[in-house]
Amino acid sequence: MTISATTPRTASTTLVSGEPAGIRAIGLTKSYDTVQAVRGIDLVIAPRETVALLGPNGAGKTTTIDMVLGLTRSDAGSVSVFGVPPATAVRSGLVGGMLQTGSLPDHLRIRELLTLVASYYPKPLGVDDVLRRTGLSDLAERWTTKLSGGQAQRVRFATALVTNADLLVLDEPTAGIDVEGRHEFWEAMRGIAAEGKTVVFATHYLEEADAFADRIVLIARGSIVADGPATEIKAKAGSRTIRATLPVGDLQSLLALPGVMNVERHGETVVLSCADADAALPALFARFPEVRDVEAAGGSLEEAFLELTAEPVEPRPKEVAE
Amino acid sequence: MSAATHVRYELLRSFRNRLTWALSLALPLVVYYAVASGQRHAFVYAAGVSFPLYFMTGMAAYGAMFAAIGPGGRLARDRARGWTRQLRITPLRARTDYLAKTLAAYLVALPALVLVFLAGVTLGVRLGAAQWLEMSGLLLIGLVPFVLMGIILGHLVATDALVPVMGWLVVFFALFGGAFGSLFNSGAMLTVVKGLPSYWLVHAGAAALLHGDWPAEGWIVLACWTAALVPLAVLAYRHDTGEA
């Protein structure tokens, strides 16, 4: 079952500007043997958008990326990249990527590797420029096989960068990079995004998705469970809690308030778990003017993430209309 | 987006893989000296040439086959490293990559031939320039199926199984093709081995030396193997990279 949590942006299949979407994936599914890795993903990404695919390991992020890149054929559904099939976009040099797995080819120096990859593309960046941006200038003459894990990861990022392709797809780009390196990485990425690239990256680091992406697509168990700006994701998670002192009011009427998903009463204290605290608060004041000591705690993105990606143990709580 | 850079780095990587390179060059040379130096004055009556010359043509074919199949090893390493998959999301075309791998195969095969020829000269082989050239030319053309086999194996065979598989394959083709001395001079088995590309690789020497005897059959066999292996290489590429 697909839990629909799409924003108006993704619901539309044509962009307002009329230009082809950077990525348009409709109804993608993919199974490996008995495991359903992706179960119906609809994703439309506009040109120049920076989107994080956020989800735990095994959520289907990499399979989705592989289908978008044309590396894996979907069981059902369709994908286009800048309005053409992935293979055509790849062949035209519109796509630069950094796959999750893999190491670098041997018997090459870093500068040579970047020169090689640049030669495949119609309008690559200068190799020296890319070396500088990725902090690899000092390692330019190093053999690709003589690098630490973090250095190799930076080289892999540099190979994606040097393509200067309009769409950059990065699967877990900062895996294995230390905190400082990660900071440098996102600095470099900000530069790229500012140049009008469409950037899609997969991550399971919440703070990266929050800090860097225009939009977060939360994937769990092969489906998109939420899609929107980081703030919207947090709101969707139902992890905002309102506590108040309220001697009156039965549970049913509290639960009937808009945006409220769960109610607990401890003596005179009520605890409302809200999907939409913005709607619940004014309704609470209106319905129960005697309410006192109201506290609203915003959930962290971490909580939102856990909430939205948790294995459902029972039927989903009621979906709240927006 | 030119193929020149890819070809250049493919050759460079092949050359930098010194150990493989050196072993590819040394193997036919060592076998040649080990076998032929003790029999440098022997004569092969069936072929009508001296033993060092007879065995030189066989070892040239063997060494060239060994060298030609080699780029498959690099392909398998790149595959194991996930690099072939990374290449699949670049505009690099498979045919450009295969062209580069073919040239890299010849970069190793050509010196292997020259070294075996030089070894022949040290054991008293003397030929005219036209004969050397014709023999080399036919050998290089006859290598095409082996370059393709290397690519196919590089795509399909697990890296740790690749060395024994390639070793077996080369020895099989060399042995039945007659690189170590012809096994069959008549009968049904001769007809069978004439269907092997390696038979014609070995025969290239004989053709250039003896009677200029390179029948249409030779071209047909090589063309058939090539025609069969090219689609197989394409299939192997697709199977390997998951391309639809």
DSSP characters over A142-192: SBTTS--HHHHHHHHHHHHHTT--SEEEEESTTTT--HHHHHHHHHHHHHH
Please indicate if any CB of chain A lies within 8 Å of the CB of B95.
Answer: no
Q: Which of A189-193, A247-251, B136-140 has the highest mean pLDDT?
A: B136-140
Please indicate if any CB of chain B lies within 8 Å of the CB of A108.
Answer: yes
The contacts of residue A101 (CB under 8 Å, 6+ apart) are B82
A262-290 average pLDDT score: 85
CA distance A8 to A11: 5
Tokens for A47, please give them.
Answer: 């040109």
Which residues numbered 186-225 in A keep a CB inside 8 Å of some CB on B? none
Query: Is the confidence at residue A236, as pLDDT, over 70?
Result: no
Q: Please give the biggest Cα pair distance in chain B.
A: 59
User: How do residues B138-177 score in pLDDT, each as one tens digit?
Assistant: 998 899 999 999 999 999 988 888 889 998 999 999 999 8
Query: Is the confidence at residue A11, as pLDDT, over 80?
Result: no
Query: Is the confidence at residue A312, as pLDDT, over 80?
Result: no
Please indicate if any CB of chain B lies within 8 Å of the CB of A175.
Answer: no
pTM for the complete prediction? 0.80
Please indicate if any CB of chain A lies within 8 Å of the CB of B17.
Answer: yes
Nearest chain A Cα distance for residue B116, angstroms: 27
pLDDT at A211: 82
Q: Are A104 and B90 an interchain contact pair (Cβ–Cβ within 8 Å)?
A: no
Beta bridge partners of B44: B49
DSSP B207: I
- Pick from A91, A92, A116: CB nearest B5: A116
CB pairs under 8 A between A and B: 86
pLDDT at A300: 61
pLDDT at A239: 57
Q: Are A121 and B1 an interchain contact pair (Cβ–Cβ within 8 Å)?
A: yes
- Please, which pLDDT band fits residue A235 given cuts at 50, 70 and 90? low
A126-155 average pLDDT score: 93
A248-265 average pLDDT score: 84
Q: By percentage, how much of chain A surpasses pLDDT 70?
A: 86
- Please, which pLDDT band fits residue A40 given cuts at 50, 70 and 90? very high
Q: Which positions of chain B have pLDDT values less than 50?
A: 244
A168-172 average pLDDT score: 93
DSSP A135: T
Domain A240-298 is of which CATH architecture?
A: 2-Layer Sandwich (3.30)
Please indicate if any CB of chain B lies within 8 Å of the CB of A95.
Answer: yes
Q: Are A90 and B91 an interchain contact pair (Cβ–Cβ within 8 Å)?
A: yes
CB-facing half-sphere around the CA of A321: CA atoms within 13 A: 3
Angle at B70 between CA B69 and CA B76, to 5 degrees: 105
A95-107 average pLDDT score: 89
Q: Are B88 and A90 an interchain contact pair (Cβ–Cβ within 8 Å)?
A: yes
Between A313 and B224, where is the model more confident? B224
Query: Is the confidence at residue A240, as pLDDT, over 80?
Result: no
Cβ-based contacts of A164 with chain B (< 8 Å) = none
Mutate to test the interface with B, among A116, A162, A200 (most CBs of B within 10 A): A116
Please indicate if any CB of chain A lies within 8 Å of the CB of B85.
Answer: yes
Mutate to test the interface with B, among A119, A123, A168 (most CBs of B within 10 A): A119
**ipTM for this model:** 0.86
Residue B212: burial class (beta carbons within 10 Å; 0-12, 13-18, 19+): exposed
Superfamily the domain A8-94+166-234 falls into: P-loop containing nucleotide triphosphate hydrolases (3.40.50.300)
A111-119 average pLDDT score: 97
Spans of all domains in chain B: 3-241
Mean pLDDT score across all residues of chain A: 84
Query: Is the confidence at residue A189, as pLDDT, over 80?
Result: yes
Residues spanned by CATH 3.30.70 within chain A? 240-298
